[in-house]
Amino acid sequence: MRNGEVSFWWRARGGFPPRRPSLPRPEEADVCIVGAGYTGLWTAYYLKGMRPDMRVVVLEAAFAGYGASGRNGGWVTAALPGSRARYARGPRGADGVRALEAALRSTVDEVGRVCTTEGIAADFVKGGRIAVATSSSQLARLRATLAQDRKWGDGDDVVRFLSRDEVRERINVAGALGGLYAPDSARIQPAALAEGLAAAAERRGADIYEATPVTAILPGTGGAGGVARTPFGGVRAKSLLRCTEGFTAGFPGSRRALLPMNSSMVVTEPLSDATWEDIGWAGFETLGDEAHAYMYAQRTADGRIALGGRGVPYRFGSATDQLGQTSLATAAALGDILRRMFPATAAAQLDHAWCGVLGVPRDWCASVTYDATSGMGWAGGYTGHGVAAANLAGRTLADLVLGVSSDRTSLPWVGHRSRTWEPEPARWAGVHGLYALYRLADRLETPAADGSGAAARVALGEVLGRVGDSISGFPH
Ligand SMILES: Cc1cc2nc3c(=O)[nH]c(=O)nc-3n(C[C@H](O)[C@H](O)[C@H](O)COP(=O)(O)OP(=O)(O)OC[C@H]3O[C@@H](n4cnc5c(N)ncnc54)[C@H](O)[C@@H]3O)c2cc1C
């Protein structure tokens, strides 16, 4: 099994793309974007679409798609990155939340549309999303989620219940008891989207400089524009946008803004036709479960299963990984989940394992923020739902930078503020303690093989899970 090499997705594209040049000299621009993941690239793409005359420079420490955008599970999902109740505290209340959710749903189609118009072959298939329950506790959580969704006005067109048989007709998940189906979700090859998007932004005239780490982002004074400092000189720009999500803690002054949550993935070798006959999955739905330490998966275009989950949740001091290398114990644990859910994969080899970081704000709610006076902005904190959200955030940042008032600029995540994370060692101890609690809760909720002591055990698991959620502030 390969481990790291950033991700399987890059390996599947024949390795890393040819490296773009670093910043050649100090420069001036209208807009300087730090980070060439989906957020930075979509922002550049839309800015140049709206104002082709603007000079837009993107500075990237490694290469476009090096971060989460080239490593993720490939779910382009309309799932809300945050809590409805918290967003509803904004000035537009519940209506604002519904508007944000509707915008995210249409964003799934927008990503597909751009893939088509720009000729980005990213294996985009809009097959919907299934959340499956494999224990009675998970089933109860799914039913509670559906009841909440109905209260917020979501009808069957947005989310509907699937019986055990309906789940298994779509995807033969062992032990499935039921599920929820949401049509607004698509499957993609993440690195292909990142690579295609970078090329599309360049075709529109954006300049992307790679191997150009930004060491500081300094606001301007007296209308002079701010500066993004790099070892090769600075880029002075009227607008400076930080699009570094899980890497944000690397900037002085932002150490406790977003927690770099680690997520790991494994991918199988291509599965045989007989195995696919057993599993089904003809609709290429994105698949997740309802465990506290949940899993997420997709069927790839080349007939593999790519499956992810938490593993080591967080590294001390907000450190990030080395080229995506993950622990062998995490890869083995993800392999166990794979084989438990899909016994037909028992003999299949795991081909590759990797990990990456996503950004989690302390209140689990994403933000798109721009201050027209200082010209400083940022977007991120999508808590694992960043693929579609980064597109909407990019369009919104473009509007904000250009001073355009749109439906997007009044969405409740615009200007949303979250408090900062606790200092170390409390941050490390808290996150590790939380995930130990979640894993224990998941084990207790899983029925024992002989069914013994089930009720008390399960009830304890559910209580521990709720305790975990109230500590973490994880939204439901
Ligand atoms: C394993 C994994 C699975 C996931 N699965 C899903 C999923 O299926 N669906 C979903 O919606 N979301 C998923 N996510 C989350 C999603 O991938 C991210 O939220 C999203 O890609 C964030 O995009 P971004 O552009 O904001 O950040 P990133 O893609 O992380 O890009 C940030 C970029 O900034 C660069 N950078 C960092 N520091 C500097 C600096 N000092 N100077 C210059 N450049 C810098 C980095 O090199 C990087 O390229 C997953 C994340 C991970 C890690």
Site residues for ligand 1, CB cut-off 6 Å:
34-40, 59-62, 66-69, 71-75, 77, 213-214, 243-247, 250, 263, 265, 296, 308, 356-358, 380, 382, 384-388, 390
pLDDT at res. 210: 98
Is residue 453 scored above 60 in pLDDT?
no
470 CA → ligand 1 middle, Å? 26
pLDDT at res. 47: 98
Range with lowest mean pLDDT among 160-174, 254-268, 317-331, 462-476: 462-476
Q: What is the mean pLDDT of residues 242-259?
A: 95
- What atom of ligand 1 comes closest to residue 212's alpha carbon? 43
- Give the closest residue (by CA) to ligand 1 atom 4: 72
| Strand spans (E) along 164-304 | 178-182, 185-187, 207-209, 216-218, 226-230, 233-242, 259-268, 286-289, 296-299
| Strand spans (E) along 188-304 | 207-209, 216-218, 226-230, 233-242, 259-268, 286-289, 296-299
Query: Cβ distance 7 to 70 under 8 Å?
Result: yes
Query: Cβ distance 297 to 134 under 8 Å?
Result: no
pLDDT at res. 153: 97
pLDDT classification of 276: cutoffs 50, 70, 90? very high
Strands 233-242 and 27-34: parallel
| C-alpha closest to that of 267 among 230, 224, 322, 305 | 305
Entry pTM = 0.97
Q: Per residue in 287-336, pLDDT tens?
A: 999 999 899 999 999 999 999 998 888 999 999 998 999 999 999 999 99
DSSP 200: H
Strand partners, 266: 307, 353
pLDDT at res. 85: 94
Is residue 476 scored above 70 in pLDDT?
no
Is residue 406 scored above 90 in pLDDT?
yes
pLDDT classification of 472: cutoffs 50, 70, 90? confident
Find all residues with CB under 8 Å of 43, minimum gap 6, and list them: 33, 241, 243, 379, 393, 394, 397, 398
| C-alpha closest to that of 309 among 68, 32, 72, 106 | 72
Query: Cβ distance 234 to 219 under 8 Å?
Result: no
Taking each helix axis from N to C end, the angle separating 93-117 and 190-203, rounded to the nearest 10 degrees, works out to 80
Q: Per residue in 77-129, pLDDT tens?
A: 999 999 999 999 999 999 999 999 999 999 999 999 999 999 999 999 999 99
- What atom of ligand 1 comes closest to residue 59's alpha carbon? 43
**Residue to substitute in 214, 289, 300, 358 for testing ligand 1 pocket (most ligand atoms within 8 angstroms of CB):** 358
CA distance 324 to 70: 11
Element (H, E) at 161: strand 160-163
Element (H, E) at 355: strand 350-360
